[in-house]
């Protein structure tokens, strides 16, 4: 009897060991890296992508080693009919089980998006839309709606100043409204009390700072001159002088490639023509950068009221205190344009 009992124990122990081994094997197999890649790769799922398209990407982009296992796991978790949009990152150490769980639970990885050197709202919508799942036309439509812009504290012209050019971590499938809400939060983060106090001291509103910064950035390509140019325009504003900023005329004409501003351009009737209308134009003429806005807030104190490009066509600027000095500088620059047949 005792011998039979021992044999039973041995048999049961062997069964446990075998089952444990099988379980351990399958557990390790499920956790074993299943993607033949050396660095992380991104898989994008939009509203148009179906399950078969995802399987194709797993083979073509993620180099999956065991597609059959992925399909079995996906089926057991009812993933085929529950696909969620987003950007998903496959890493070299990831198993099929890890991947299915990630897709099934919608565990996206945010992506870094950047927008800078943007002039028009159409350019902005396209640049951002091309980096996200957003449709550029949808984004442009939203930032052109008066009621929506008003909800954020702007109008359809000044809304440009809400977008602070920078690099942001954002989920790829973010909606247009959520994106705008995120940008408003970033705008509020930018306008810390210290910046608000500096703007008030000039005095300018945050939107006016953005408008002036946009002119400054179009006026000179030399960032070290930003604060000096800003100081010049602030001097003119305080003296109730026309800004007479050539970039605003280019904006009014709709041609930033103009090398020479002619009398016909100066006569254009537009609120952006600062040769005809006093003060700042109604909105930014480009999406101003943080550097540009900080240059306005920390403008250089000087007595300059005039400026013109240097006659060597280097892109640098001649500054002047008096109109007579400015005319001399302007004539040198005009002569250089004539010599180089720039019309």
Please give, one letter per residue, the 3-state secondary structure of 76-97: HCCCCCCCCCEEEEECCCCCHH
Sorted by sequence, the CB contacts under 8 Å of residue 64 that are 6+ apart come out as: 34, 35, 36, 58, 70, 96
Contact 42, 89 (CB under 8 A): yes
294 with 198, same domain? Answer: yes
How confident is the model at residue 23, as a pLDDT?
A: 41
* Residue 81 within a domain: yes
Helix (H, G, I), strand (E, B) or coil at 303: coil
118 with 162, same domain? Answer: yes
* Residue 11 within a domain: no
The percent of residues above 70 in pLDDT, for the chain, comes to: 90
How confident is the model at residue 309, as a pLDDT?
A: 83
115 with 150, same domain? Answer: yes
Residue 177: give the domain boundaries: 111-190
* Residue 4 within a domain: no
How confident is the model at residue 25, as a pLDDT?
A: 41
**Residue 85's domain is classified under what CATH number?**
3.30.1490.480
How confident is the model at residue 335, as a pLDDT?
A: 84
208 with 298, same domain? Answer: yes
First to last CA, the chain: 114
How many CB atoms sit inside 10 A of residue 318's CB? Answer: 18
Q: Please state the pTM of the whole predicted model.
A: 0.85
* Residue 10 within a domain: no
* Residue 226 within a domain: yes
Sorted by sequence, the CB contacts under 8 Å of residue 340 that are 6+ apart come out as: 313
Domain count, the chain: 3
Alpha-carbon distance of 305 to 237, in angstroms, equals 10
103 with 115, same domain? Answer: no
Q: Of 109, 126, 158, which one is at a domain's C-terminal end?
A: 109
Alpha-carbon distance of 63 to 39, in angstroms, equals 11
From the list 107, 130, 100, 101, the residue with the least C-alpha distance to 118 is 130
How confident is the model at residue 147, as a pLDDT?
A: 97
74 with 84, same domain? Answer: yes
Contact 175, 140 (CB under 8 A): no
* Residue 264 within a domain: yes
Q: What residue ranges of the chain have pLDDT lower than 70?
A: 1-31, 341, 343
Q: Of 109, 132, 152, which one is at a domain's C-terminal end?
A: 109
Exposed, middle or buried: residue 202 (CB in 10 Å: 0-12, 13-18, 19+)?
middle
How confident is the model at residue 260, as a pLDDT?
A: 79
């Amino acid at each position: 009897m005792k011998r039979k009992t021992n044999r039973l124990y041995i048999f049961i122990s062997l069964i446990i060991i075998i089952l444990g081994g099988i379980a351990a094997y399958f557990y390790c197999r499920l956790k074993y890296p299943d993607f033949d890649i050396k660095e992380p790769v991104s898989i994008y799922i939009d509203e148009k992508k179906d399950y078969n398209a995802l399987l194709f990407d797993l083979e073509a982009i993620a180099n999956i080693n065991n597609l059959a296992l992925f399909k079995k796991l996906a089926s057991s978790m009812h993933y085929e009919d529950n696909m969620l949009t987003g950007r998903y990152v496959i890493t070299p150490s990831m198993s099929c089980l890890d991947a299915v769980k990630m897709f099934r639970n919608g565990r996206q990885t945010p992506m870094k998006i950047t927008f800078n050197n943007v002039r028009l709202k159409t350019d902005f919508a396209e640049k951002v839309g091309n980096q996200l799942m957003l449709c550029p036309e949808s984004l442009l439509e939203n930032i052109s709606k008066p009621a929506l812009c008003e909800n954020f504290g702007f109008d359809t012209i000044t809304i440009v100043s809400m977008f602070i050019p920078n690099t942001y971590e954002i989920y790829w499938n973010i909606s247009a409204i959520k994106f705008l809400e995120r940008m408003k939060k970033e705008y509020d983060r930018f306008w810390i009390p210290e910046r608000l106090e500096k703007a008030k001291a000039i005095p300018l509103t945050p939107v006016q700072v953005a408008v002036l910064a946009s002119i400054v950035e179009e006026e000179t390509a030399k960032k070290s001159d930003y604060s000096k140019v800003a100081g010049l325009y602030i001097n003119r504003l305080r003296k109730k002088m026309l800004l007479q900023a050539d970039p605003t005329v280019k904006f009014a004409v709709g041609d930033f490639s103009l090398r020479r501003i002619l009398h016909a351009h100066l006569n254009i009737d537009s609120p952006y023509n600062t040769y005809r209308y006093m003060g700042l134009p109604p909105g930014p003429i480009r999406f101003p950068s943080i550097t540009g806005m900080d240059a306005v807030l920390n403008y250089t104190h000087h007595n300059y009221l005039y400026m013109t490009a240097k006659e060597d066509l280097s892109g640098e600027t001649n500054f002047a205190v008096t109109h007579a000095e400015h005319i001399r500088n302007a004539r040198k620059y005009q002569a250089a344009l004539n010599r180089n047949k720039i019309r």
